[in-house]
Structure formats: C-alpha cells, structure tokens
Amino acid sequence: MIQPEQTVTVASPLIGVVSEVSVDRGDLVETGQVVARLVSTTDQAAVALAKARADSDAEVKGSQARLDFETRRVDRGRELRAKGVASVVDLDEWESSLVVAQANLVEARVNHTLAKLELVRAQAALELRTIRSPLHGVVVEVMLRPGEYADPPQVMKLAQIDPLRIESYAPVSMLGKLRVGMPATVVPEVGTEYEAKIVVVDRVVDAASGTFGVRATMPNPDHAMLAGLRCKIRFQP
C-alpha cells in the first residue's frame, strides 16, 4: 500500500470561534503556512496597547532629565557649601533628592523593559489564534468552517505526500536478504514504475502468515503519485 509519509490532524491550541479557513480539501500547503485563524479582536487590541507602551520612552526620558537636574543642583550645592553659603541641611536635602531621582530612573527603565516583555507576551497570545501547517503536504479534510466553535479544537487533517511510504510484507525466505538502504522498485496499480529505498525491516516475523514487514520510501516531489493506491514492490537484494 502506498501511504503518506505522515498524516496529522491540525488543532487549535485555544478554544474559540473560527474566523477564517484559508485552504480547502486538495490544496497544497507549505510548512508554516497560515491555514486558519480564530477570532482575535481582543488579542489584537492587547497587542496594540502593549506596543504603544513599549514604544513610549517618555517616562525614562523624564526620569533622566530629573536626574540630570538633581545632579547639577547637588554639584552647585557642594560648591556653595564649600564657600559657606549653603547649610548642611540644604545640601543633605539636595543629595536625598538626587538619590530619589536615581531610583526613579532605575524604576522607569525596569517599567520600560516590562512593557517590552508584555508586548512579546501579547504577540505570543495573538499568534496562538493563528493556525499554521506543520508540514509540506496536502489538505485531506477540513473539519471546521468560519463561524464554528473550535471545541473540540481539530480544524483539519493534512498529509505529507513527499516522500511517500510503501508498507509491504516479504516472505520469511527473504529474511536476512533485505537491509535498510537497499533499492526497490514500486509498481502501482495505475501508472509507471518508481524507484524507492528500504528504510525499515521488521525484526519480528508474523508466524501465521510467514511474512515480515518492510517499509520503503519513495520521492514524490511533483506529487504525481497519489497516496492510498495498492502496489507491488520488487526488492533488489
């Protein structure tokens, strides 16, 4: 039997209403391609708000300006104190204000860093509502349509058809003659012959039938061969 290399059921990581399904049965999809989306109005607003906060450095600039002012005032105050013009109390007050300004700048920078991290978190939450293909293959079945509630979250089924996988059974008389990496010829029930390569040789024999399983892989870059066909396979030990 000629089978897809793998078949996966693509699911949404979140429960929600489907807003878009961008592919249909039989369509080819690439790895990472967007195949569906959930309604994400709230998450989009959260990203916009987080981005506005992350892009704004007004608090940092304001705290820096205040620190620069307090630094200059302390410098002048120390000069005045050295001349006996300013009192110890005045200088102590100015130095305390400088320490507060330094702390405020540190806090402003921390808040700005947290705002950037919040943007990353909001973008990640929004990305969870975008469903992407995990493989290069074909859409086998679409289970949900726009407006439907993704619970259960299975959205569609995809199959990787390049390469194709051929599952066969060899007689026990060939045991020890077939090895991984050996070539094989696949003859489907329709079409021409194709070259394949053995990738798995079972180490357990089925006693009832006197056979053991052999798996071969066959390139299918142009998707000319369809999965699901029966075939014959000739091994070349």
Q: Which long-range contacts (CB under 8 A, 24 or more apart) does 47-55 make?
A: 47/119, 47/122, 47/123, 47/126, 49/122, 50/115, 50/118, 50/119, 50/121, 50/122, 50/123, 51/119, 51/122, 53/115, 53/118, 53/119, 54/112, 54/115, 54/116, 54/118, 54/119
Structure tokens at 175: 């045991």
Kindly report, residue by residue over 149-198, the tens digit of the pLDDT: 988 899 999 999 999 999 999 999 998 899 999 999 999 988 788 999 99
Distances (CA, A) of 108 to 46, 52, 58, 60, 100: 21, 16, 9, 5, 12
Identify the pLDDT of residue 222. 87
Query: Coil, strand, or helix at residue 67?
Result: helix
Kindly report, residue by residue over 4-50, the tens digit of the pLDDT: 999 999 999 999 999 999 999 999 999 999 999 999 999 999 999 99
* Burial category of 218 from C-beta neighbours within 10 Å (exposed 0-12, middle 13-18, buried 19 and up): buried
Looking at the chain, the whole-number percentage of residues with pLDDT higher than 70 is 100
* Residue 237 binned pLDDT confidence (cut-offs 50, 70, 90): low
Kindly report, residue by residue over 108-129, the tens digit of the pLDDT: 999 999 999 999 999 999 999 9
Identify the pLDDT of residue 191. 76
Once rounded to an integer, what is the mean pLDDT over residues 76-96? 90
Identify the H or E element spanning 6.
Answer: strand 2-11
d(CA 32, CA 35): 9
d(CA 165, CA 113): 50
Looking at the chain, the whole-number percentage of residues with pLDDT higher than 90 is 85
What's this model's pTM, rounded to 2 decimal places? 0.76
Nearest CA among 30, 27, 38, 35 for reference residue 10: 35
